[in-house]
Structure 1
Amino acid sequence: MLKNRTLFYHFLATVTIIIWGTTYVSTKILINKGLSPVEIFFYRFLLAYLCTLFISHGKKWAESYKDEFWLFVCGLSGGSLFFMAENTALGITLASNVSLLICTSPLFTVLLSFLIYRTPLRRKVMLGSLIALLGVGLVVFNGSFVFDINPIGDALTIVASILWAVYCLVLKKLTSKYDTLFITRKVFFYGVLSLCFYFLFYPLEIKTGLLRQPVIWGNLLFLGLIASMLCYIMWNYAVKELGASQTANYIYMVPFSTMLTSAVFLGETVTFISLAGALCIIAGVYIAEKQR
């Protein structure tokens, strides 16, 4: 029974990553139609918050100011600051750089867990992570190695990677005291609230003409209800049951998922090198997970 329960949470993490891998296609469509990355994030998190509030509205605040502060940190590290750092990096460095560097998040999760919680560094976990990261590189670069170092853009990507690691670790700390739906709702709330401070300097322009188009609101509904609300709930449950470091390893699967989605919806070619990379990712994640 325990094994089946564990497999279920691995399944949740896998489904979450598959869906997150498709968001690049959906986001690309919205950007091509005229929405900015910040606008897309705002609308998707606002939708996610309102829907989560509908199903989880009993408890308003954490039991202490300290816990409320950590929920705020989750809203920043797993929401506004993470997406702003990642999206800004996409604008000033190569997308391949971002795709590869963002997948260092599991390594940062393991390292931060060691530094903060003194979690042992297992050799085969690190080996599995490095194999998976190699696979990510093969999928991202697909035989054409172009890694043009851009100090600011690449640094922002590393910041985003560390932010997600922080989110997973703080989330694990909170899940021992609070309901997952409550935590997820607060993450969306503080993600939206913190972005409002950004709009004080760069006001939000509501493009009503665009928002009325079916392709726009259709993709926003997908990003808000499925990729944000549903996926954050599933991810948070997985972190609660499997742990921050173990769940973070699934981040390696995002480029693999994006590769398959792009092949199906955008007609992009899947090469032998990208398939080899996919096998490395799967093998690396398997090695890392088997050593827990």
Structure 2
Amino acid sequence: MLKKSSLVGLIFASLSVFMWGITFVSTKYLLRSFSAFEILVLRFFLAYLGLWILRPKSLHLEDKKNEIYFALAGFSGVTAYQFMENMAISYTSASNVSIIVSICPIFTAIFSQIFLKEKHLTPTFLLGFLLAIFGIALVSFNGVVILHLSPKGDLLALGAAVLWGVYSVCVSKINALGLDSIQATRRIFLWALLFMIPIGLFSIMTLGTFPVSTPDFKIPGISLLLDSEFNHFRFLNPLNWLNLAFLGLGASAFCFAAWNIACERLGTVRATVGIYLIPVVTIIFAFFALGENISLMGAIGAVITIAGLFVSEIKKDD
């Protein structure tokens, strides 16, 4: 039977995985009206405000040297990871991105073993990893999706997966400080927003404000669009605001805080293994929200993915 603390961690991890599985659909929709960078800024600005409303108190660190963990977490898990994922979705299919990003747990396990001296790379963990990846491939292809390799997009997604491993190690260090989870997550987002400033300045210097000539043009990933007519069009679209609110308040403010709690209660590697399920959630959500069919291959893939999760959790008695 699960302990109460583990059950709480499992619930928060499950909610995070479910909501993160939907973000691919929301991001894909928003990329019609916003650049990858604009989505990044708007999403985490809303997330930061939401966390301030929930916990309007400043976070004070006894040892200022620990600030490096928040800065590194903000850069690796938010600014760089989310930007690279958004860019990857704009270059290649969401299925490709979901498959590649889902290998985050193996990088988390490797970095945890190197930097935290935790031993996770057991034969059963690796077997579970391989089973889950195979299941994810079946789910993502779903019998109809054709793997379309786009080196630029796929490499961006792979880089994002590596960065999430770095972020997970930083979260372990932050959790060890015993701080309030909401305040700690907000501090991470603050650093992330600060790291976004150089990207915005680079965009202005290289691309300018990028005026819009037609409503169906291809929006560059690193760009700021200040065309008044186009801004009026996109910011008055209620579906744009609905998706931004979901990404900012739900998938970022709530999920990142919930994920930190899950990592604290379950352990970083054990919680991160749940990321295997994100493509499964994406396919299921697309079925109900978009009417996309789930093939027999997709159903079998879901079962294999879940089986891989259980196998990776098997621990050899000392």
**Residue pair 1:72, 1:190 contacting (<8 A) in 2 also:** yes
Counting helix residues as a fraction of each chain, which structure ranks higher? 1
In the aligned structure 2, how far is the partner of 1:156 from the partner of 1:173? 26
Please, which of 257, 260, 270 is the counterpart of residue 284 of structure 2?
260
Question: 1:1-292 to 2 correspondence within 5 Å?
Answer: 3-32=3-32, 34-120=33-119, 121-143=121-143, 146-177=146-177, 178-203=179-204, 204-205=224-225, 207-291=231-315
> Alignment RMSD, CA only?
2.0
The Cα offsets for residues 87-129 of structure 1, whole Å up to 9 and x where unpaired, read as 2223334433322111111011111112222322222122112
**Residue pair 1:56, 1:185 contacting (<8 A) in 2 also:** no
In the aligned structure 2, how far is the partner of 1:97 from the partner of 1:3? 36
Residue 280 of structure 1 aligns with an amino acid whose one-letter code is: I
Structure 2 alignment gaps of length 5 or more? 205-223
Residue 65 of structure 2 aligns with an amino acid whose one-letter code is: K
In the aligned structure 1, how far is the partner of 2:174 from the partner of 2:59? 15
Which structure: larger Rg?
A: 2
Change in CA separation of 1:29 and 1:90 when aligned onto 2, cut-off 3 Å? closer
The total of aligned residue pairs comes to: 291
- Helix, strand or coil for the counterpart of 2:118? coil
**Residue pair 1:128, 1:285 contacting (<8 A) in 2 also:** yes
Structure 1 residue 63, shift from structure 2 partner = 3.0
The Cα offsets for residues 118-170 of structure 1, whole Å up to 9 and x where unpaired, read as 32222212211211111111111223574454444332221100111111111
In the aligned structure 1, how far is the partner of 2:116 from the partner of 2:247? 34
Residue 4 of structure 1 aligns with an amino acid whose one-letter code is: K
- Helix, strand or coil for the counterpart of 1:202? helix
State TM-score, norm by structure 2: 0.85
In the aligned structure 1, how far is the partner of 2:66 from the partner of 2:54? 22
In the aligned structure 1, how far is the partner of 2:2 from the partner of 2:290? 40
Task: Indicate the larger mover: 67-76 or 137-146.
Answer: 137-146
Change in CA separation of 1:182 and 1:139 when aligned onto 2, cut-off 3 Å? same
Structure 1 residue 260, shift from structure 2 partner = 0.6
Residue 137 of structure 1 aligns with an amino acid whose one-letter code is: A
Partner of 2:214: none
Residue 77 of structure 2 aligns with an amino acid whose one-letter code is: G
The Cα offsets for residues 203-234 of structure 1, whole Å up to 9 and x where unpaired, read as 43352442232212122112111111111111
In the aligned structure 2, how far is the partner of 1:77 from the partner of 1:225? 20
Among all aligned residue pairs of Structure 1 and Structure 2, give the percentage whose two residues are the same amino acid. Answer: 34
**Residue pair 2:48, 2:189 contacting (<8 A) in 1 also:** yes
**Residue pair 1:61, 1:68 contacting (<8 A) in 2 also:** no
Partner of 2:209: none
- Helix, strand or coil for the counterpart of 1:187? helix
Change in CA separation of 1:217 and 1:146 when aligned onto 2, cut-off 3 Å? closer
State TM-score, norm by structure 1: 0.92
Residue 162 of structure 2 aligns with an amino acid whose one-letter code is: I
In the aligned structure 2, how far is the partner of 1:86 from the partner of 1:12? 23
Residue 66 of structure 1 aligns with an amino acid whose one-letter code is: K
Change in CA separation of 1:266 and 1:94 when aligned onto 2, cut-off 3 Å? closer
Task: Indicate the larger mover: 85-94 or 167-176.
Answer: 85-94
